[in-house]
Chains A and B, each alone.
Chain A
Amino acid sequence: MKKDILIAGVGGQGSLFATNVLCQYALERGLNVLGTETIGAAQRGGSVVSHMRISDQPIYSPLVPPGRGDVLLGMESIEFLRNIKILARNGYYILNLYSLPTVYTNLGIDRYPSEDEIVAAVKEACEKGYIIPATVKAAELGNTQMTNVVMLGVLGKVDDFFEYSEVKKIVEKISPKKFLKENLMAYEAGRELV
């Protein structure tokens, strides 16, 4: 078995917690894990991509090659679109429908596509997936930084490989005490979005 996952977002959105949970999950099952992330400058606002590869076979490259990704998690709409080539024919996506304008879209040099256009383009390009308002949900729960935990809840619900309650145990185990309650709420909230 193999599970190649890509998480695309914008610097400052935070996805490290989610990758740690998924990695821990795979390690506890005795699987191989290899990952990489593009860490840009400390400044916020650049594109950020993390690759995470899980397999019962040896893994060589930490990069998921284009067309081989099993799951594409989009934390932000255009960063998701930018990485769509990674998704395998039978792969699926979870897109957090959330727009962070770029310097150039603010300037009016580029145009940020509308939500309708994004949804239409995604449905045209990919067969299988879920479009969810994870950031909106996280904001309702009090902290947009929990977007990635909400998305984890969706993943736990829709992906047979990630057993919902087992992933939850890991969320519980590795959450810092301060965020434990919030994280568990966000994880549960994810399940209810799909």
Chain B
Amino acid sequence: MGEKKYVMGNFAITRGAVESGVQVAAGYPGTPSTEILEGFAEYQGIHAEWSCNEKVALEVALGASLSNVRSMAVMKHNGTNVSTDLLMHLNFTGISGGLVVISADDPAGHSSQNEEDSRILVHTYANLPVFDPSNAIEAKSMVKDAYELSEKTEMCFILRPVMRVCHSRAVIPFEDYDEASFPKAQWRDDRDRYIMSGVEVPELGGIKRPQARHRWLNNKYKELQELFEGSPYNHVEDGEGNIGLVGCGIGYTYIKEAAGMLGKKYPILKLCTLPIPKKKILGFLQDKEKVIVFEELEPVVENLIKQLCQENRIPMEVLGRSGFYPPDGELTAQMVLDAVKKADPEVKVIEEFQPRKIDIEIPVRTRTQCVGCSYRSLLYNVKRIARRYKGIVFGDIGCHDAGSFKPLELQSTIYCMGASVGMATGAFFAGEKRPVFSIIGDSTFFHLGLNGLINASYQNGKQVVVLCDNATTAMTGFQPHAGSGINLYGESAKKVDLNKFGEAIGVSVHHVDPYDNKRTYETLKEAVQEEGVSLVISSRACYLKGSREGIKFFEPREVHVDQERCNGCMVCINDFGCPALIYEADNKKVHIDELTCVHCAMCAVVCKRGAIS
């Protein structure tokens, strides 16, 4: 029999997949989902890969599934957006070997550029079945059930864990599994399903295949509704009164937390599946006047219950995310308490929360590049050039994006993966007279940036693309990519030759060593004066990763600020901004914090008064 381990929710999901016999797992790093795929590296005999982007990952997983083995695609909500086109086809074709997609949401956007509820894409839009786990143990068990049901129904299943489930730590049962029992790859043609095209289907009166498959999906949806009536993930807990609380996924845990502080026991309906079990819900609604639905992040289940009430002519107040409590951000136990009090003013709250008074201004903390990171001197030089030529800098996602915050405020935009290059092209063709720049990291470039670059070149645009090549996906914890030369297992792998790539698509390629201040500046200056698209590749490994591995980046040098010479102009902070440089408001001078400085000496070139040496 197996053992129990205290692990992160993400590893519980990995383990669930391994015990289910997953043979192929593919994904792209993104908080909060990253560790799920990393977890596969520990297991033999499974092909796990960091794909170039999430759509590719889903294609890989689908190809494996149609080859009759179990597979998994792992992504965060933004990645689900990227793979939507494929989702909108595989929902029509169905699958062969069990296929589970993990679409991890980050309500409140703790580590994201936006917040969204991917249940809308995968369920409301693609009509696929969804498990919304309330905790890590449930997530693991759902993964295992999802594989069984996926094969039984021929449907791709989605697990939608939110960040608090992914990043929770709990005691998880590790069960044994028998590798010999897992099916081997065996392709079988099934042209009526796998060839998605507008051909006629004579047996259905000549309607086109897309419509025929849509009909299939609609029937499947009904079948799933029936199936989930008996799901162990939906249940009712009795209580008193005519107000019911509905908890979806993590929402259920906040209800249970709040229940301990309420002077009355409310009936609870836990709902962790989509489609919703209609009969079970109708049963719960029977003696109720109001229900409050707690879910992250949009009123998905709330709207489904409203629809159900309307279909059945049930007069019911269905309250929730649509305006009864805050329609954005994460849920909390306090939000549940507040909502319950609003719906039931009579209720007593045991031990009402009284905030402590704290009489002090607390400064905010933003992230920035690590001390010693080569991006700092790169951005410093891009800022100098952009200032000199009045450039507009389009930003992308990655460690360099911190250059868009104070003090640098270099990039003017941050949207989604790879958007910088295309947006710069658009500004150029809009007739913007100022030169346009884009800054993009290598992992983002391989994800969805290269299409934009090919397009920029093809359209005869003009821009300087600064490619920050640190040979890894640093922000999410150093996952390799197509330019790293290694794969997920750390084994050597093919590496894209960016030079040849640039040449092949007709852009002018430059290289800089960002630690070489002068050459970096000169190269950027050359690039901005060129016709056409210039690709400036700044190649230096991630300092944080590299220094842990013992790589030497520079000759360390003791650096000090001469307090006599420093006149407090703050150029070193505003244009460069190493966190080890500290401005002392009292004497209006800068000094270096010895505990944090790594002696890279990059700041020495920044001070035009020669105070840093």
- Name which residue of chain A comes closest to B577, CB basis: A103
Residues from chain A with a CB closer than 8 A to the CB of B167 are 36-39
Segment 390-420 of B: residues with Cβ below 8 Å from A: 399, 402, 405-407
Whether B579 contacts A103 by the Cβ 8 Å rule is yes
Interchain residue pairs with CB less than 8 A apart (6) = A33-B6, A41-B31, A42-B475, A61-B164, A81-B362, A124-B358
A79–B365 contact, CB under 8 A? yes
Query: Would you call B332 and A47 a contact (CB within 8 A)?
Result: no
Q: A118 to chain B: which residues have CB within 8 Å? A: 360
On chain B, the residues within 8 Å of A78 by CB distance are 362-363, 365
If A42-B475, A103-B406 touch, whether A62 touches B363 (CB-CB below 8 Å) is no
Contacts of A105 in B (CB 8 A): 363
- Answer whether residue A23 sits at the interface, using C-beta atoms and an 8 A cutoff: yes
When chains A and B are docked, how far (Å) is the Cα of A103 from the Cα of B570? 13
B361 contacts chain A at the CB level, 8 A cutoff? yes
- Out of A11, A68, A108, A124, which one reaches B359, CB within 8 Å? A124
Q: Judging by beta carbons under 8 Å apart, are B169 and A35 in contact?
A: yes
* A87 contacts B by Cβ under 8 Å: yes
Question: Is A133 located at the chain interface by the 8 A CB criterion?
Answer: no
Q: Kindly provide the distance from the CB of B550 to the nearest chain A CB, expressed in whole angstroms.
A: 15
**For A32, A41, A104, which residue has the most chain B Cβ atoms within 10 angstroms?**
A41
Select A39's contact among B31, B353, B583, beta carbons within 8 Å: B31
CB under 8 Å from chain A, chain B span 353-374: 353-371
A112 touches B353 (CB 8 A): no
* Complex interface residues of chain B between 562 and 613 (CB less than 8 A to chain A): 570, 573-574, 577, 579, 581-583, 585, 593, 595
Q: Give the CA-CA distance A125 to B362 in the complex, in Å.
A: 14
Asked if residues B406 and A27 are in contact (CB atoms below 8 Å), the reply is no
Q: Does any Cβ of A come within 8 Å of B253's Cβ? A: yes
- Which B residues from 244 to 271 make CB contacts under 8 A with A? 250, 252-254, 256-257
Residue contact B333 to A102, C-beta cutoff 8 Å: no
Cα distance, A67 to B360, chains bound together (Å): 19
Q: Does B111 contact A (CB under 8 A)?
A: yes
Main SS class of interface, B: loop
Q: How far is the CB of A119 from chain B (nearest CB, A)?
A: 11
Query: Chain A binding site: helix, strand, loop or mixed by DSSP?
Result: mixed
A84-B356, A111-B585 known; A43 vs B332 contact (CB < 8 Å): no
Complex-state Cα separation, A11 to B355, whole angstroms: 26
Beta-carbon contacts of A121-148 to B below 8 Å, as 1s and 0s? 1001110000000000001000010000
Once the chains bind, are B111 and A41 in contact (CB under 8 Å)? yes
B281 at the interface (CB under 8 A from A): no
Minimum CB–CB distance for B149 against chain A, Å: 26
Residues on B with C-beta less than 8 A from A101 are: 579, 582, 593
Flag whether B544 is at the interface (Cβ < 8 A).
yes
- Give the complex CA separation of A46 and B364 in angstroms: 10
Q: Specify which chain B residues have a CB less than 8 angstroms from the CB of A144 in the assembled complex.
A: 595
Asked, given contacts A34-B170, A79-B365, A144-B595, whether A39 binds B402 with beta carbons under 8 Å apart, the answer is no
Residues of B within 8 A of A44 (CB): 367, 370-371, 544
Q: Once the chains are docked, how many angstroms separate the CA of A41 from the CA of B31?
A: 8
A189 to B78, CA, bound (A): 47
Q: For the complex, what is the distance from the CA of A125 to the CA of B355, rounded to whole Å?
A: 10
Identify B358's interface contact among A24, A46, A81, A102, CB under 8 A.
A81
B528 to chain A, nearest CB (A): 28
Q: Flag whether B322 is at the interface (Cβ < 8 A).
A: no
* Chain A residues whose CB sits within 8 angstroms of the CB of B478 once the complex forms: 42
B476 within 8 A of A: yes
- How many residues of chain B get a CB closer than 8 Å to chain A's CBs? 63
**In angstroms, how far is the closest chain B Cβ from the Cβ of A29?**
13
Q: Which residues of A contact B539 (CB under 8 A)?
A: none
| Chain B: minimal CB distance from A117 (Å) | 6
Q: Does A109 contact B (CB under 8 A)?
A: yes
Point out the residue from B32, B169, B355 that lies within 8 Å of A67, measured CB to CB: B355
Residues of chain A within 8 A of B474, CB atoms compared: 42-43
Check if B433 is an interface residue, CB within 8 A of chain A.
no
- Inter-chain CA distance A63–B257, complex, in Å, is 10
- Please state if B169 and A23 are interface contacts (CB–CB under 8 Å): yes
A residues less than 8 Å from B570 (CB atoms): 107-108
Pairwise interchain contact B354-A67, C-beta atoms closer than 8 A: yes
Q: By the criterion CB–CB under 8 Å, are A107 and B406 in contact? A: yes
A65-B332, A67-B354, A108-B585 given; A45·B476 CB < 8 A = no
Chain A, residue nearest B31 (CB): A39
Q: Does A152 belong to the interface (CB within 8 Å)?
A: no
Partner of A102, one of B356, B360, B363: B363
Minimal beta-carbon separation of B270 from chain A (angstroms): 11
- A50 to B574 CA separation, bound complex (whole angstroms): 32
Among B32, B169, B363, B369, contact of A110 (Cβ-Cβ < 8 Å): B363
List the B side residues contacting A125 at CB < 8 Å: 356-359
Whether the Cβ atoms of B544 and A42 lie closer than 8 Å is yes
Q: Are A66's CB and B334's CB within 8 A?
A: yes
Q: State the Cβ distance, A49 to closest chain B Cβ, in Å.
A: 10
Q: In the docked arrangement, what's the CA distance between A103 and B367, Å? A: 8
The proximity string for A residues 94-106 relative to B, scoring 1 for CB distances below 8 Å and 0 otherwise, is 0000000111111
For A35, the closest partner residue in chain B by CB is B169
Interface string of B311-349 (1 = CB under 8 A from A): 000000000000000000000111000000000000000
Interface presence of A154 (CB below 8 A): no
Residue of A nearest to B578 (CB): A106
B544 — nearest CB in chain A belongs to which residue? A42
A121, B164: Cβ atoms closer than 8 Å = no
5 nearest A-B residue pairs (beta carbon): A110-B363, A60-B256, A67-B353, A60-B253, A121-B360
B169 near A107 (CB under 8 angstroms)?
no
Complexed CA–CA distance, A19 and B370 (Å): 25
A47–B333 touching, CB < 8 Å: no
Q: Which residues B233-251 have CB closer than 8 A to chain A?
A: 250
CB neighbours (8 Å) of B406 from chain A are: 103-104, 107, 109
Tell me if B363 and A41 are in contact (CB < 8 A): no
In the complex the two chains form, is B367's CB within 8 Å of A43's CB?
yes
Chain A residues within 8 Å of B364, by CB = 102, 104, 110
Residue numbers in A under 8 Å from B250 (CB-CB): 61
Residues of B within 8 A of A121 (CB): 358-360
A149 at the interface (CB under 8 A from B): no
| A89 to B250 Cα, complex, angstroms | 27
The answer to whether B476 and A106 have CB atoms under 8 Å apart is no
Closest chain B residue, CB of each to CB of A126: B356
Q: Does B168 contact A (CB under 8 A)?
A: yes
